[in-house]
């Protein structure tokens, strides 16, 4: 396949995973040729290049390397007029790094803003970075999507790389780790694979929930883990829930992971949301008025990624139209994001869902939200939680707040029903029936 094909495949791949606010910058980038393993791209303005580099490059790079199964260098140039005078040809500059740690240099402790709830995770992550492999090994960072797991994980890596460049820091997503493993099996290069990962002084693996059900990759990771652990090398993982709640993880791997320190990340509170928005404006050299910042912070509560997405939309608007953002413009531009939980789902509320589920199972709505562990109440609670996640746009954290449960209990309930309905056709039918009743009520 030519690099042009890889580029097109990579675009397709990231289009399903990237935030729309970030992915939009890809529209301004064109394929313009290739030179060995260097992919030549072009765009019409420096601004597009900068935004591509900060918002899209990392994801595209990963996708390209995965698809091509080797490192593809990206060379993005700005077409004549807007070219920076010092722009140099970077085509053939050989990278001098020990390994490709693929760390995103934008993720640092300095630009991570902890709140009261996440301060412990932040402080512990810093302690690990200062003194890797000593007291907090292994380390697991867990929490829902967009709450800063990758940011914190890469901050540790960046800090160590900066302070001790001789240390071999390897960052991979669990998905790349799996692909790497499968490719090494196919190419009979398993010993290369093992050498590569066991050479790590610090191994960072992102999103290990991806390995659920991938038993042979888990097995391989188990051996990598043991090898590094015995040598006192630091291992850090992230996961979207506590490892104990991964249904298909082997017990021995779970027990390895939970041996060290477990750090949980939760959604930021209002003050932290404001602080994060202000910090991001500062980073992007953009002024946005306090009233608009407060408006976003009041309305976008789900996670930091959504906060950033809102800001990216507004910044693109001011840059492209050269106008200040007023509160009205902000409301208009963000209406798809902010009204999403209700308008798109015909105003279905968690209260309504709870009522319908309660009447279906002949229990009281208050019992569903209580601490009761009676079987029927527990079952109806799991169903209510599952359906809340399925039909509304509320985050697991918000659903947790409503049902008086923590985030991990919510994901556990959802997984439980998800799994059970595959084998229990009665349950599957009941769920459909209840869902129809809820939707009918909302009309
Ligand atoms: P996760 O890996 O948990 O899905 P990320 O680490 O990718 O989330 O975070 C999503 C975005 O939000 C990133 O751009 C990250 O820099 C930003 N972010 C998350 N938490 C914070 C924080 N506490 N302070 C500043 N930025 C944050
Ligand atoms: Mg992540």
- pLDDT tens profile 61-110: 999 999 999 999 999 998 876 554 444 444 333 333 445 567 999 999 99
- Please provide the average confidence, as pLDDT, over all residues in the chain: 88
Decide if 184 contacts 220 (C-beta within 8 A): no
Domain 119-265: which CATH number of 3.40.50.970, 3.40.50.800, 3.40.50.1220, 3.40.50.300: 3.40.50.300
Nearest alpha carbon to residue 298 among 327, 321, 273 = 273
Determine the average pLDDT of the residues in 323-351: 74
Report whether residue 58 contacts ligand 1, using a CB cutoff of 6 Å.
no
Q: What letter would DSSP give residue 36?
A: T
φ/ψ (deg, to 5) at 425: -70, -25
- pTM, 2 dp: 0.60
Mean pLDDT, residues 402-414 taken together: 90
328 alpha carbon – ligand 2 mean position (Å)? 32
Atom nearest to 265 CA in ligand 1: 3
pLDDT band at 23 (very low <50, low <70, confident <90, very high): confident
Bridge-based pairing state of the strands 73-78 and 139-142: unpaired
| CATH number given to 344-442 | 1.10.1750.10
Residue 27 makes CB contacts below 8 A (sequence gap 6+) with none
Query: pLDDT of 127-156, one tens digit each?
Result: 999 999 988 999 999 999 999 999 999 999
Burial 12-42 (b: 16+ CB within 10 A, else e): ebbeeebbebbbbbbeebebeebeeebbbbb
Residue length of the chain: 443
- Nearest atom in ligand 1 to the alpha carbon of residue 111 is 25
Domains 119-265 and 344-442 share a fold: no
Query: Is the Cβ–Cβ distance between 39 and 90 less than 8 Å?
Result: no
Is residue 276 in contact with ligand 1, taking CB distance under 6 Å? yes
DSSP E strands, 179-220: 202-206
**Closest to 439 in 3D by CA, of 401, 400, 392:** 392
pLDDT per residue as tens digits for the range 228-271: 999 999 999 999 998 888 888 999 989 988 889 999 999 999 99
Q: How confident is the model at residue 396 (pLDDT cuts 50, 70, 90)?
A: confident
Highest-scoring range by mean pLDDT, 11-15, 196-200, 243-247: 196-200
pLDDT at 20: 66
User: For 35-62, how does the pLDDT look when each residue is reduced to its tens digit (9 = 90+)?
Assistant: 889 999 998 877 778 878 888 999 999 9
| Domain locations along the chain | 3-82, 119-265, 270-333, 344-442
Nearest CA to ligand 1 atom 9: 148
Half-sphere exposure of 74 (CA within 13 A, CB side): 24
Q: Which fold has domain 3-82?
A: GMP Synthetase; Chain A, domain 3 (3.30.300)
Pocket test for ligand 1, best of 23, 148, 300 (most atoms within 8 A of CB): 148
Domain covering 270-333 in this structure, CATH number: 1.10.8.60
pLDDT surpasses 80 at 162: yes
Torsion, Cα 139 144 145 147, to 10 degrees, reads -70
């Amino acid at each position: 396949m030519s690099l042009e094909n890889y580029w097109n495949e990579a675009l397709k791949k990231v289009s399903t995973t990237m935030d729309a606010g970030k992915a939009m910058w890809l529209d301004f980038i064109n394929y313009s040729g290739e030179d060995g393993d260097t992919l030549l791209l072009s765009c019409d303005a420096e601004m597009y290049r900068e935004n591509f580099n900060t918002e899209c490059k990392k994801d595209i790079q990963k996708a390209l390397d995965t698809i091509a199964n080797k490192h593809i260098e990206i060379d993005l140039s700005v077409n004549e007029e807007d070219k920076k005078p010092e722009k140099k040809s970077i085509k053939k500059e050989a990278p001098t790094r020990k390994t490709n740690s693929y760390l995103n240099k934008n993720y640092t402790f300095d630009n991570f803003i902890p709140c009261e709830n996440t301060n412990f995770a932040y402080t512990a992550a810093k302690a690990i970075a200062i003194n890797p492999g000593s007291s907090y090994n292994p380390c697991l960072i867990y929490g829902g999507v967009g709450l800063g797991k990758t940011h914190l994980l890469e901050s540790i890596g960046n800090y160590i790389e900066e302070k001790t460049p001789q240390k071999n820091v390897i960052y991979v997503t669990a998905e790349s780790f799996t692909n790497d493993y499968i490719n090494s099996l196919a190419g009979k290069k398993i010993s290369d694979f093992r050498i590569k990962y066991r050479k790590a002084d610090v191994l960072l693996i992102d999103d290990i929930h991806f390995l659920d059900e991938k038993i042979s990759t888990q097995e391989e990771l188990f051996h990598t883990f043991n090898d590094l652990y015995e040598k006192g090398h630091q291992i850090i993982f992230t996961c979207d829930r506590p490892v104990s709640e991964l249904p298909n993880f082997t017990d021995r791997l779970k027990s390895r992971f939970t041996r060290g320190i477990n750090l949980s990340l939760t959604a930021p509170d209002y003050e932290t949301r404001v602080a994060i928005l202000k910090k991001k404006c500062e980073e992007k050299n953009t002024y946005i008025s306090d009233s608009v910042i407060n408006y976003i912070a009041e309305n976008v509560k789900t996670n930091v990624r959504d906060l950033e997405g809102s800001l990216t939309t507004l910044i693109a608007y001011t840059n492209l139209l050269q106008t200040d953002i007023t509160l009205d413009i902000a409301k208009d531009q963000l209406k798809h994001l902010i009204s999403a939980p209700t308008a798109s789902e015909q105003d279905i509320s968690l209260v309504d869902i709870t009522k319908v589920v309660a009447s279906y199972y002949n229990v009281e709505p208050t019992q569903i939200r209580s601490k009761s562990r009676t079987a029927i109440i527990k079952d109806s609670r799991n169903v209510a939680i599952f359906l809340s996640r399925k039909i509304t746009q509320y985050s697991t954290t918000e659903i947790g707040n409503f049902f008086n449960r923590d985030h991990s209990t919510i994901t556990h309930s959802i997984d439980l029903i998800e799994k059970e309905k595959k084998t229990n056709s009665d349950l599957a039918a009941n769920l459909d029936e209840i869902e129809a009743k809820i939707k009918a009520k909302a009309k």
